[in-house]
Structure 1
């Protein structure tokens, strides 16, 4: 079993020191552009270069996030950025936009590629697709169970990276458009405004059944309790979320996971869990989808923010003096902060005195008797965490050999992993009076001072009764250290050709009107329009109805729209073989695995909007793979020559969490929607076979007919479908 990698987030330079000093094996960070954490400080290319130098000398890998969708106009700038990155020794790129795969293979073949969790990899077929295109590691969707992860690991020879600590998205990553729709801040472009952390009402048939609360806000995950199981699963890398978090957070989390990875501790100590909660938690942790079913136990419905550590209750409150008496189970110290959770308003205050654990104290703060009290800032803890990285001391272990034979030059060799360097010094002389002692030789050659190295093992072969000036040994040691540093930092420079804009190939650009439907009532209306020449039929796992719809569309192109999420159990349970008998039937693919499977079976394959094509390189990547047509991402800004959706209540979130399941509504008939803080309504649809829920845009996208366009019908009645068609296409 290989040693698992501990991978830490770095959003600013202090976080890098915090990660390295507390035991990270690797770090991930982003540049000033093309990074999915736009609001983090991030780094210039010069800063990245210095970070790589610091980390490489200490044996720490550095992965660079280029994990946003790329607009067509940005491709030349991206090309220049990749050119810089390949020449400074990064260990891998973490990518979302698969157009980068094409660029790297064509221009930068020395770069290693990791697939971001933004690619929603959730099945064996997904993983096989990415491996077939040269991806060396996949960051799996956080929604997978441990058994699903093990299945992927066992069936695909590829590195697996999973999140072990930090924030969870409500939606499958890469499948969320809610922030983009609400405020033009795209999560796929690194600018998510986190609408999942806001309050919503859940309504059925227009009536509120769950009042305003944080319905879409998951707790952070903490997997210390199940870490032995994750290690046994032979996952390649344990990833910690948090490029927007503080260096103290990074120090605390890395330190804890380093401890539990390296030591066989049978159960998690309360003191370690309390420290993690004190630094950041949203109402406790969950172990995530590894071993939990989606449900309220994973949700932070009371508060979407860090609440700190629960330490006590309000015993009483005097309105006249405005003094609250609080009982605390933990000692409080000057500099701490507490927050009282009153029924309507949470109120915080600082602590200026010392209060013993398991005691009561009075403080001026508005409070209600019985309200819970949380430690929102642990001053001494934060101070102790800062001490772990303020004076960096981490060194890389290396081995050494010393050879000294009278009459020959002294040879000093350093070995670091698979790198071996050596140098020769002065000739070793026969001693006249005071021969040099072996202990002295060992001391001089292991005294590495402020270098990033320390000697783990030294092998000395040295003649007795010999002599050398000590300063010469020091000079030799410094020379070999410089050689080792140079060897570790050397990068083979690669000068690519000039960037050439992708030329369109293998695509028909004639104007066309298509429609996607889910019901026969919708289809009846579509079939009245001869100028709708292509029909996409929502499969919904029903081959019989799909074949019936296909036969009704006998004079039109017909494609089966596959599910937005198709995990391995769905692949096993529902077969497409019966549909494959119809040679002219095509397939609209919404997952990478579907693309892989449909092309492997030599069927007509199209890519849907949710695979996020926003530029020509990405489009050509799919065309080269055997795809015949693409529907552009809803976030595409440029006018690319592919199909675009001009009408529809489009999904803004696709999630494994189902609100109907959370609140005992499964199986109930009725129309469900969310209402947000400004009164906007967001319809909900569910796929009960895969236990997937989608939140739709209550406002239908609607644009003019131009080029290749698609109308997307989902929740519309037959009458509503008729009205839309008449408005957009005129009378049939």
Structure 2
């Protein structure tokens, strides 16, 4: 049985050494760029290189986080950033951006690719897809149950790295835009401002919910008493959260998990209770008020939330001092045995043996010929005294065996102390080289940066545009009332009831897939108003395989409805992988959540093919967090390299959080419609008085927190048309009633009706936002 890897965080070099001293098998750290903890100390280039050498010398591993989304203009920096680490044989990178994943896979094939939890992998199909695209390890969403983790390991044949301790995000990682939309600090760029840790009030029916509470602040995870279960589930790597925490945290937490992991492997059939003292020590190391075992045995629950306060427990000075004394401020040492042979008239010989994880490594050095003593002979004690002097080396002698032989002359032997010291120094250097030599075999990378060298693509990117047709409009609806509003507008346009200005063609309607489970929706779609409109089913934001198998609904959408459905809007990698496995033949349109911040990401997606070798992906969407300048730059290159049609969102409440946690259940009680086609709406109010709509999806059991202010770019549409870059403009109707939907649709579809547009924008001047159109994220 391969032992599970214990993976600890390090925000700085001291933290790394302390965690290794405490028993970590590997460390994950961030470099000077592209890491999802921009405010941690992080490592500069030389520190990363030193860290890799240090780890490899001690039989450990270093994984670097390259786990932010990368803008098109930043991509040219990636090769030079990664090159020295590839040359040093960095063990792996943890990646969120699909473009970064493709780039490192192709340019640095010797470095392992680990899919970050920011990729929101929720099941077997997403994990299989990532393996197909080059990953050897996946960090699934923290929301998964232990059974779901186990299924990924068994069915996807990919390594699984799982969080076992530390802070928990309320939103599915990678799907959170909360910090980004209320400011400029994006969680996808490592700069989350943690609005989830702030107080809110709610209109949920409960007397307490009118008071300020912390319904989005999860307790910290602690699974030390679950170690046997986690190991037996087949998890390959246990990950401790905390790159922004102090060295005492990393070392102390690592030491305790190391203790109970080793106890399990020593006696797997014996139950090892976590001692009260050990649990108290964990609670003293920067844990929030209260702890939970996370989602491993529950889908959600108010017992997981720090409703009253998100504050950390106080830390005990004696605990910190104990950790410092045991693990910090000292270098990790390699245990060795040294043999010294000093025989008259033969060359002096030193041997060092190291047993590293069962691998026996030996190194021998030979010196000058041993002379007969003329005055004071060298004895074992004086020789041993010199050989013990290993203080500035990574070695520590467990035994030193010395053989002195003067061939029975009775004179003894002589060897200058300086020569013996030089032999010792040489032996240590050569053993270091031997221990590091194995890592040199895997170095593999392109010697020349190929990114940006494709001149035909660059030329096409400058020339690309939408030609031969006007940009049309797509509308997404969440409710029957919104669909009826769209039908009414289309009928009025058709029969000339709306004549002001130009009416754009509505060529597609997206229906939230739950809507299609209602039979009366199909009757509306058969109206003549929709006769020339594509119907696309928008899949759920989350697909899981728990007690309810969400993949069944996707299969139903893919195979049913007798031709009513023309394709699917795909919102995550799990859905993309599932449909790819089915060789789905209709349109596959990727929503903003399958991030294409750069052309490399689109190029990776273009590698996916159907059995007939046609492109599996049909279209992509511009992510919400790009400015119009960044979006234009990216779209030009995307079209040049892939030809994908691109849609651009001009209206909608941005989904800021998608969570397994349920605000209604936390502040009141569950609706009782578990896995039924049921939705509820509530409001969450922040300290500034902004009222954010919250909707439940009971069928797939998740919440969406929408931005309080919808993004509305109707005043920018003339400029957007002039760019001739975007194939489709998209209007997303989410929480709007029918009257509001009619108002929005009239302006969005009849863009030439400037008077109605002016009226709408004026009435909503304090409510509408332009989002990241100009502002962007850091």
Place the TM-score, normalised by the shorter chain, in its bin.
0.7 to 0.9
Residue 391 (structure 1) aligns with: 329
Aligned residues: 664
1:562 paired with 2:539, answer: yes
1:4 and 1:82 mapped to 2: Cα distance?
A: 28
Q: Answer yes or no: is the 8 Å Cα contact 1:579–1:585 preserved in 2.
A: no
Equivalent of 1:486, from 422, 426, 433? 433
Secondary structure, in 3 states, of the residue corresponding to 2:282? helix
Q: Which moved more, 1:409-418 or 1:716-725?
A: 409-418
| Secondary structure of the structure 2 residue equivalent to 1:574 | helix
For residues 56 and 610 of structure 1, the distance between their equivalents in structure 2, rounded to whole angstroms, comes to: 37
Aligned runs of 1:604-623 on 2, under 5 Å?
604-623=587-606
Q: Cα 1:578–1:305, aligned 2, differ >3 Å: closer, same or farther?
A: closer
Distance 1:255 1:205 in 2: 45
User: Following the alignment from structure 2 to structure 1, what is the Cα–Cα distance between the partners of residues 127 and 407?
Assistant: 64
1:425 corresponds to which residue?
A: 366
Query: Structure 2 CA distance, aligned partners of 1:643 and 1:653?
Result: 22
The separation in 2 between residues aligned to 1:118 and 1:538, in whole angstroms, is 24
Residues in 2 aligned to 1:149 and 1:287: alpha-carbon distance in whole angstroms: 15
- 1:419 deviation in Å? 8.8
Of 689, 711, 719, the match for 2:739: 719
- Name the CA shift for 1:40/1:474 in 2 (closer, same or farther; >3 Å): same
With normalisation by structure 1, the TM-score equals: 0.82
Measured at CA, do residues 404 and 422 of structure 1 come closer, stay the same or move farther in structure 2, by a change above 3 Å? Answer: farther
Give the stretch that moved more between structures: 676-685 or 206-215.
206-215
Greater per-residue strand proportion: 1
Measure, in 2, the Cα distance between the counterparts of 1:643 and 1:459: 74
Query: Contact 2:597 / 2:623 at 8 angstroms: preserved in 1?
Result: yes
8 A Cα contact 1:419 1:487, kept in partner: no
Answer whether contact 1:35 1:189 (CA < 8 A) is retained.
Answer: yes
Paired residue for 2:394? 452
Q: Does 1:275 align with 2:281?
A: yes
Deviation at 1:158, TM superposition (A): 1.3
Structure 2 distance, partners of 1:478, 1:75, is 45
CA distance in 2, matches of 1:617, 1:153: 28
1:602 aligns with 2:548: no
Q: In 2 relative to 1, CA 429–250 (structure 1 residues): closer, same or farther, beyond 3 Å?
A: closer
In the TM superposition, residue 566 of structure 1 has moved relative to its aligned partner by 0.4
Is 1:243 the equivalent of 2:243? yes
Mapping for residues 582-597 of structure 1, pairs under 5 Å: 585-597=566-578
1:534 paired to 2:538? no
Mapping of residues 227-306 of structure 1, within 5 Å:
227-264=227-264, 266-306=272-312
Which SS does the other structure have where 1:633 is aligned? coil
Taking the aligned partners of 1:401 and 1:587, their CA distance within structure 2 comes to 70
CA change 1:561–1:6 in 2 (3 A) is same
Please point out which of 541, 547, 553 is paired with 1:574: 553
Cα pair 1:645 1:712 within 8 Å, conserved: yes
Once the 2 structures are TM-superposed, how far is the Cα of residue 727 of structure 1 from its aligned partner? 1.9
Counterpart residue number, 1:64:
64
Relative to its length, the structure with more helix (as a share) is 2
CA separation of 1:380 and 1:463: change in aligned 2, threshold 3 A? same
Say which is worse superposed, 194-203 or 574-583, in terms of deviation. 574-583
In the other structure, the counterpart of 1:336 is none
Please give the residue correspondences for 1:69-468 in structure 2 after superposition, counting only pairs within 5 Å.
69-204=69-204, 209-264=209-264, 266-306=272-312, 308=313, 376-397=314-335, 410=349, 412=351, 414=353, 422-426=363-367, 448-454=390-396, 465=407
Long gaps (5+) in structure 1: 309-375
Answering whether residue 665 of structure 2 is matched by residue 661 of structure 1, we say yes
Query: TM-score, normalising length from structure 2?
Result: 0.78
Q: In the alignment, what sits opposite 2:757?
A: none
1:631 aligns with 2:625: no
Q: How many Å separate the matches in 1 of 2:206 and 2:598?
A: 40
Alpha-carbon distance, 1:652 to partner: 0.4
Name the CA shift for 1:579/1:628 in 2 (closer, same or farther; >3 Å). closer
Please report how far the alpha carbon of residue 548 of structure 1 lies from its aligned counterpart in structure 2 after TM superposition: 5.6
In the other structure, the counterpart of 1:338 is none
Would the aligned equivalents of 2:124 and 2:152 in 1 still touch at CA under 8 Å?
Answer: yes
When structure 1 is superposed on structure 2, of 265-274 and 220-229 the one drifting more is 265-274
Contact (CA 8 Å) 1:83, 1:496: kept in 2 or not? no
Distance 2:259 2:525 in 1: 59
Please state how far the C-alpha of 1:154 moved relative to its aligned partner. Answer: 1.0
For 1:282 and 1:206, the matched residues in 2 are separated by: 25
Quick check: 683-692 or 598-607, which moved more? 598-607
* Other structure's SS at 2:310 match: coil
Deviation string, structure 1 residues 221-247 (Cα, Å, up to 9, x no partner): 111111221122231111111111112
Range moving further from structure 2, 92-101 or 20-29: 20-29
Structure 2 SS opposite 1:613: coil
C-alpha contact (below 8 Å) 1:252/1:276 kept by paired residues: yes
CA RMSD of aligned residues (A): 3.4
Report the CA distance shift for 1:407/1:79 in structure 2 as closer, same or farther (over 3 A).
closer
What CA distance in whole angstroms lies between the structure 2 residues aligned with 1:676 and 1:193? 15
| Distance in 1 (alpha carbons) for counterparts of 2:334 and 2:517 | 60
Q: Mark the CA change 1:389 to 1:208 in structure 2 (over 3 Å): closer, same or farther.
A: closer
What is the CA deviation profile of residues 657-714 of structure 1, one whole-angstrom value per residue up to 9, with x for unaligned ones?
0011221151598631101111001101111122111111121111133333211112
Distance 2:253 2:371 in 1: 56
2:660–2:703 contact (8 Å) kept in structure 1: yes
| Distance of aligned partners of 1:709 and 1:455 in 2 relative to their CA distance in 1, 3 Å threshold | farther
Q: Secondary structure at the match of 2:162?
A: strand
Offset of residue 268 of structure 1: 1.4
How far apart are 1:469 and its partner, in Å? 3.2
Q: Give the structure, 1 or 2, with the largest relative contact order (CA under 8 Å, sep 6 or more).
A: 2
SS at match of 1:63: strand
* 1:693 matched residue in structure 2: 703
Question: Which of 524-533 and 194-203 deviates more?
Answer: 524-533
Return the match for 2:694 from 671, 684, 689: 684
CA distance in 2, matches of 1:228, 1:45: 38
Show CA shifts across 1:199-241 (max 9, x none): 1111149998442111110110111111221122231111111
The answer as to whether partners of 2:348 and 2:366 remain within 8 angstroms in 1 is yes
Of the structure 1 ranges 533-542 and 613-622, higher mean CA displacement relative to structure 2 is found in 533-542
Judged with a 3 Å threshold, the aligned counterparts in structure 2 of structure 1 residues 647 and 205 are, in CA distance, closer, same or farther, namely farther
CA distance in structure 2 between the aligned counterparts of 1:55 and 1:688, rounded to whole angstroms: 47
User: How far apart are residue 409 of structure 1 and its match?
Assistant: 7.5
